[in-house]
């Protein structure tokens, strides 16, 4: 009898231990309902003491009902100058199912970004799958962006420059950047003004294989067959890999409401061609006047988080900081120009101006400027005069787009992706 009971117990334990979904290296779910998160990072409390990084932090609960929260990272030295700081809304990665704004991994990155870029960073803590399938993460991110744009928090009101607001994220966070920016251009976009997008090794996928997804010679972290199963899991079976939230349509990318964008890819990442193609779509779009593509040689997905002191990770952070601190175009403020734009129609973008303390909105048409060109040149910080430069350093190449200044800068080239 006892032996029979043991056999039943062992059989039950075996069934309970059966894996329902294997999302290695992030999580596994089991048929008995258990969720095992494999990528766990230590909780780090917020502190108003800047410490070695020179960055003070503070947590704010935006929505007690859903638990949507943010952690603010304030560069104390930059704030002490009295100048308004670039505002970065940051969405962490983790395949939509792991990670937190309060974890050591993403706290460290956001603090480093604030320190290096002299910026005020708002790191969003959104709900995770499988407890909260997509679109919960998008809804939380949108709510957080609306809260940031309201400047209702004292740190935001006193230190942030809403004329220089960036959406940033890596992996799943970069996917959120795209989808939140897409929502900003919708009728309920609330006139949220986005200066730039920063997508680091973005998580995009699709039903059709791109060249990098058929080449396993570099031994990527993520196998294509495993990625094929991820999106249906994240959406609780509601969508497949052709979902435009995962596989953005060219016309949607072309209409994204930003003036500048930076996309980074790692040359061993199986999703690298998705990032390259996304940058090309932005470059040919209606709004984005400057597109920067940074390729990190010999690296794989998320390398800058795992080994932040590596030369390639430091260089990527430098590229991001340079991009954020590149002078943005001055807003058009003359009454004559505003009247002209009003006569031409409503296809324009607006931003607030802080001149004389005014909150007045001024608008302009991105395409009223000279058509951009693509030029080859040295890999160095971008100049406001000219834009698309392609060059190599020891570990990465920089591709950027802006208005062309003629005369000896190099030959015109074209980028194309499947």
Could you give the residue numbers annotated as active site?
171, 269, 301
Q: Return the C-alpha torsion angle 267, 304, 204, 351, nearest 10.
A: -120
DSSP string over 357-380: G---EEEE-GGGSPPPBBB---SS
Helix (H) and strand (E) counts in the chain: 12, 15
Enumerate the β-bridge partners of residue 29: 21, 35
What angle, 0 to 180 degrees and rounded to 10, lies between the N-to-C axes of helices 311-325 and 104-117? Answer: 50
Contacts (Cβ under 8 Å, ≥6 apart) of 241: 205, 206, 207, 228, 231, 232, 247
Q: Which two tokens stand for residue 250?
A: 């060219």
What angle, 0 to 180 degrees and rounded to 10, lies between the N-to-C axes of helices 172-184 and 136-150? Answer: 60
Question: Is residue 97 a contact partner of residue 129, using CB atoms and an 8 Å limit?
Answer: yes
What is the layout of strands, in order, in the sheet containing 27-30?
19-23, 27-30, 35-37
> Which residues of 227-301 form beta strands (DSSP E)?
260-266, 290-296
- Cα 350 from Cα 44, distance rounded (Å): 38
Q: What is the largest CA-CA distance in the chain?
A: 94
Contacts (Cβ under 8 Å, ≥6 apart) of 376: 389, 390, 391, 409, 410, 411, 413
Question: Is residue 106 a contact partner of residue 51, using CB atoms and an 8 Å limit?
Answer: no
Say whether 54 sits in a helix, a strand or coil: coil
């Amino acid at each position: 009898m006892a032996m029979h009971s043991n056999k039943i117990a062992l059989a039950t334990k075996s069934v309970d231990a059966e894996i329902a979904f294997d999302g290695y290296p992030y999580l596994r779910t089991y048929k008995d309902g258990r969720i095992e998160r494999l990528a766990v990072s230590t909780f780090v409390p917020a502190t108003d003491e800047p410490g070695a990084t020179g960055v003070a932090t503070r947590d704010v609960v935006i929505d007690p009902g859903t638990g949507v929260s943010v952690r603010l990272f304030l560069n104390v030295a930059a704030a002490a100058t009295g100048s308004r700081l670039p505002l970065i809304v940051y969405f962490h990665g983790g395949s939509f199912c792991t990670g937190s704004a309060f974890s050591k991994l993403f706290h460290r990155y956001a603090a480093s970004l604030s320190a290096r870029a002299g910026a005020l960073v708002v790191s969003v803590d959104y709900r995770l799958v499988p407890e909260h399938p997509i679109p919960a993460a998008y809804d939380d991110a949108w709510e957080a962006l609306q809260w940031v744009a309201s400047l209702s928090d004292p740190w935001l009101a006193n230190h942030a420059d809403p004329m220089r607001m960036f959406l940033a994220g890596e992996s799943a966070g970069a996917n959120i950047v795209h989808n939140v920016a897409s929502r900003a251009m919708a009728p309920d976009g609330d006139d949220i003004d986005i200066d730039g997008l920063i997508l680091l090794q973005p998580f995009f996928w699709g039903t059709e294989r791109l060249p990098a997804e058929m080449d396993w010679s570099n031994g990527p972290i993520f196998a294509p067959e495993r990625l094929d199963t991820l999106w249906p899991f994240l959406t609780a079976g509601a969508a497949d890999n052709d979902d435009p939230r995962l596989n953005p349509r060219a016309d949607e990318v072309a209409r994204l409401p930003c003036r500048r964008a930076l996309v980074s890819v790692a040359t061993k990442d199986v999703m690298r061609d998705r990032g390259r193609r996304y940058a090309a779509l932005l470059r040919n779009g209606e709004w984005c006047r400057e597109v920067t593509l940074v390729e990190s040689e010999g690296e794989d997905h998320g390398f800058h988080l795992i080994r932040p002191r590596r030369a390639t990770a430091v260089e990527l952070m430098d590229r991001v900081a340079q991009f954020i601190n590149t002078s943005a175009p001055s807003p058009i403020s003359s009454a004559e120009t505003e009247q002209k734009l009003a006569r031409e129609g409503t296809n324009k973008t607006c931003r607030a101006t802080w001149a004389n303390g005014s909150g007045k909105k001024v608008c302009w048409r991105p395409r009223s400027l000279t058509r951009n060109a693509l030029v080859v040149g040295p890999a160095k910080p971008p100049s406001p005069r000219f834009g698309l430069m392609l060059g190599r350093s020891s570990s990465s190449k920089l591709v950027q787009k802006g208005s062309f200044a003629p005369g000896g800068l190099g030959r015109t080239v074209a980028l194309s992706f499947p």
